[in-house]
Each structure stands twice: as structure tokens, then as C-alpha cells.
């Protein structure tokens, strides 16, 4: 069983940085694909980034490419999202997600487990 808990959200100003963390208490963390999604009020959940089990493959949404970086530490059962040069349009609830199948995906429907979300607010 995978249980994901996000942390690290908060209120920052445009141009600032934040690092989100997502810890998993399950026993299969090292073999699963992990992703980050976000959802702003009144909008659909959108893909942000994903990382393969061995960190070799990473995906990013065009809107965050060059500003955000995903990483994982399988020994700590934790995945990170380093967010730099934050913009007001990055404001959303950020969700960590895990996929049982080891194939990368940008589709939120492909992910089997979700965290509760952490709020990120970027003021202008």
C-alpha cells in the first residue's frame, strides 16, 4: 500500500523558491513512478512533473520547464519538487501521485495513489 503525504507549501512572493516534499510510508516506493500535479480554483487538475523509479527519466509541463526540478530519494521514500522563480500563476494546490505501473505518464487518470495536497500561493 502507498500512502503519500505532502509538505512544504506556503505563501511566497513572485520570484521566490519553495521545495515540496512527498513522503511515502509504503514498501514499494522505489519501484513506482511518481508525479506532481496541481489544481487552481475553478480549473482542472494539471500535470506538473513526473520521475521514473530510477530517476533517469523526468517529465515537465512546458509551463514549469526550466524553473521546477523533480527528484527522489528512494532510501528516504521521498520525492521532491524544487520550485524556483515562482509566478502568481503557479498558485494552486499541489498533489503528489504514484503510479503502480512503471511507465511514465502525464495523465492524472493513470495514477493510482494521491496525497492530500499542499497549498502554494504566490503573491505578485
| Per-residue pLDDT tens over the stretch 59-113 | 999 999 999 999 999 999 999 999 999 999 999 999 999 998 889 999 999 999 9
Q: What is the C-alpha to C-alpha distance for residues 80 and 74, in angstroms, rounded to an integer?
A: 11
CB atoms closer than 10 angstroms to residue 42: 5
- Least confidently predicted of 9-18, 21-30, 68-77: 21-30
Q: Is 76 helix (H, G, I), strand (E, B) or coil?
A: coil
* Burial class, 81, CB count within 10 angstroms (exposed 0-12 / middle 13-18 / buried 19+): buried
Is a pLDDT exceeding 90 seen at residue 2? no
Separation between Cα atoms, residue 24 and residue 105, nearest integer Å: 19
Question: CA 48 from chain center: how many Å?
Answer: 7
pLDDT at position 27: 66
Q: Provide the grid cell at 57.
A: 527519466
Query: pLDDT at position 43, please?
Result: 96
Amino acid at each position: 500500500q502507498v500512502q503519500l503525504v505532502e509538505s512544504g507549501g506556503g505563501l511566497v512572493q513572485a520570484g521566490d523558491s519553495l521545495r515540496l516534499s512527498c513522503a511515502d510510508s509504503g514498501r514499494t516506493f522505489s519501484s513506482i513512478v511518481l508525479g506532481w500535479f496541481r489544481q487552481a480554483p475553478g480549473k482542472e487538475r494539471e500535470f506538473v512533473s513526473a520521475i521514473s523509479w530510477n530517476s533517469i527519466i523526468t517529465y515537465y509541463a512546458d509551463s514549469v520547464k526550466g524553473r521546477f526540478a523533480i527528484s527522489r530519494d528512494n532510501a528516504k521514500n521521498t520525492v521532491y519538487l524544487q520550485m524556483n522563480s515562482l509566478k502568481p500563476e503557479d498558485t494552486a494546490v499541489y498533489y503528489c501521485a504514484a503510479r503502480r505501473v512503471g511507465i511514465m505518464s502525464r495523465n492524472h487518470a493513470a495514477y493510482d495513489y494521491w496525497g492530500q495536497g499542499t497549498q502554494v500561493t504566490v503573491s505578485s
